[in-house]
Structure 1
Amino acid sequence: MKKLKNEKELVKKAIALGMEYGEKRGVVEFEPTDSAAEKVEYIYRLLVHDNLIQPLPEDQVSQQSMQHKLAIWASKQ
């Protein structure tokens, strides 16, 4: 997995876009106390469920790999 040039910024953008997408869709309401890790996992699973990103093999799912997938998704938005 090759790290993207500005991956941290893209992950932040992906969280913001994913939160907006989930709330607009009416499936989630994020709380200020939710950690970034929880948001990343929920957004990743939501996007996989909606077929907007390809799922990772279940044995390769980790916080870092989910962030990477979300960063790639955000870069294409």
Structure 2
Amino acid sequence: MKKIKNEQALLKIALSVGEKYAINRGFKSFGATDAAKQKVEALYRLLVQDKLVHPLPEDQEDLLSMKHKLALWIQKQLPEGHELLK
């Protein structure tokens, strides 16, 4: 897995956008006490279910890989010329 530039910042945006997407799909928002791990896994699974992200092989489904997939997903959603894409 190749590390992408600004991966942490992209993940932060992905969690924010992903939560709004989940709410629009009818899910309740995450609570203040929900762990980041739970958010990452829930959003990853929702995006896989909606076929917006290709699923990881079962033996490679770990937190780091899911974070990486979310960062890649949001990277493709950002407009050309966005500051995190430079």
Letter in 2 for 1:27: F
Q: Deviations over 1:7-62 (max 9, x none)?
A: 00011011001100001111232111111110000000000000000000011000
Letter in 2 for 1:7: E
- The equivalent residue for 2:75 is 75
Q: Secondary structure at the match of 2:56?
A: coil
Shift of 1:76: 1.0
- The equivalent residue for 2:82 is none
Letter in 2 for 1:56: L
Please give the TM-score of this superposition, normalised by the length of structure 2: 0.86
Letter in 2 for 1:32: A
Unaligned runs of 5+ in 1: none
Unaligned runs of 5+ in 2: 78-86
Q: Percent identity?
A: 55
> Hey, which bits of structure 1, 4+ residues long, moved more than 6 A?
none
The number of aligned residues is: 77
User: Aligned Cα RMSD in Å?
Assistant: 0.7
Distance in 2, matches of 1:11 and 1:35, equals 15
Please give the TM-score of this superposition, normalised by the length of structure 1: 0.96
Distance in 2, matches of 1:16 and 1:25, equals 14
